[in-house]
Amino acid sequence: MVFFRNWKLRTKVIVPSLIIMLALSAALGDLIYKQEKQSAIAQARQTALAISVQIAADRATYTERVVSKLLGEKSDVSFADMKSLGNAKTLPLPASFVHLTSNIVNARGFHTVDLLSVWNINPDKKPPTEEIRKALDDVARTPDVADELVYDQGKDARFISVTADIASAQGCVDCHNRHPDSKRHDFRLGDVMGGMVVSIPLAKPLADASSNALMLTGGLVGVFGIVLAVISAIQWAFISKPLLRLEKAADEISLGDLETPVVSESSDEVGNLAKAFERMRISLGRAMESLEKE
């Protein structure tokens, strides 16, 4: 702290204030970014939930109004997975229906939707990462609770929601149980067969959050800078400048100049100090006159 004591008074005021200003601006900027980030994630969560609900409703309607009805009428229409849809009288199973519509959505690039499973028949429908595999295991244990993953770094930042894929049609159950490539053959209606994985891009929302935080931080720095400049100007005009005049007056008195009055321009501490210097100058002048008379 020795170096601090040797600083000029103005430096002692400006430097600590500047450090506090920068630290406070950085802290506020970080807080703003975190709030903006949480807001972007919350919005992505709501979007993923809406997409999951919409797809589940479409699938349930397709199952009830198409699959169940045709099966009940004993029509010659059959239902098959995506690899077996070449026949003119073959319609997609509910899961294949979701895959077909999801492929159209995924091609648009706004978000991606997929049905994945640890018991996948299609090699392309296995969990691509260990994190998603764990999420599929979690929703299999607790199908009423969605699992989520957040990747918040770089251009591939995204929010991933995983909800349980419930066997809603007997055709889905029979297809999986009978398929030679199936890893499980004991599915029943209502069982969890995998998960609906909805991925929402986060790169742009997080970039916007960072940009907003930087703009607000810059604004705070500007405001603090103006306040610091005003404080510095006040400190110079009413403290440092009067003290420099007192320093000059003290030097003149020490050299024997007792004729020049020490002017006090205020009634604050600096002004009172100037008045004390003036009383000292007058007292010294009287003392010098008394010595000369003797």
User: Where does a domain end: 186, 208, 230?
Assistant: 208
Residues of the chain with pLDDT under 70: 1-2, 71, 74, 78-88, 171, 294
The amino acid sitting at 157 is: A
The tokens describing 286, both together, are 């009287």
Cβ(49)–Cβ(159) under 8 Å? Answer: no
Look at residue 199 and give its three-state secondary structure. Answer: strand
Please give the model's pTM, rounded to 2 decimal places.
Answer: 0.73
Q: Is residue 203 located within the same domain as residue 216?
A: no
Residue 287: the pLDDT is 84
Number of domains present in the structure of the chain? 2
In which domain, by residue range, is 195 found? 21-208
Pairs from 250-253 (Cβ < 8 Å, separation ≥ 24)? 250/277, 253/277, 253/280, 253/281, 253/284
Q: Is residue 94 located within the same domain as residue 67?
A: yes
Residue 189: the pLDDT is 87
Q: Is residue 189 located within the same domain as residue 77?
A: yes
The tokens describing 201, both together, are 């891009």
Q: Is residue 134 located within the same domain as residue 234?
A: no
Q: Is residue 175 located within the same domain as residue 147?
A: yes
Residue 263: the pLDDT is 83
Residue 22: the pLDDT is 87
Q: Is residue 197 located within the same domain as residue 73?
A: yes
Look at residue 17 and give its three-state secondary structure. Answer: helix
Q: Is residue 164 located within the same domain as residue 96?
A: yes
Q: Is residue 25 located within the same domain as residue 67?
A: yes
> How far is the C-alpha of 278 from the C-alpha of 15, rounded, in Å?
33
Q: Is residue 98 located within the same domain as residue 154?
A: yes
Q: Is residue 191 located within the same domain as residue 70?
A: yes
Q: Is residue 199 located within the same domain as residue 254?
A: no
CATH number at residue 235: 1.10.8.500
User: What is the distance, to the nearest Å, from the Cα of residue 201 to the centroid of all Cα atoms in its chain?
Assistant: 14
Q: Is residue 71 located within the same domain as residue 183?
A: yes
Residue 60: the pLDDT is 81
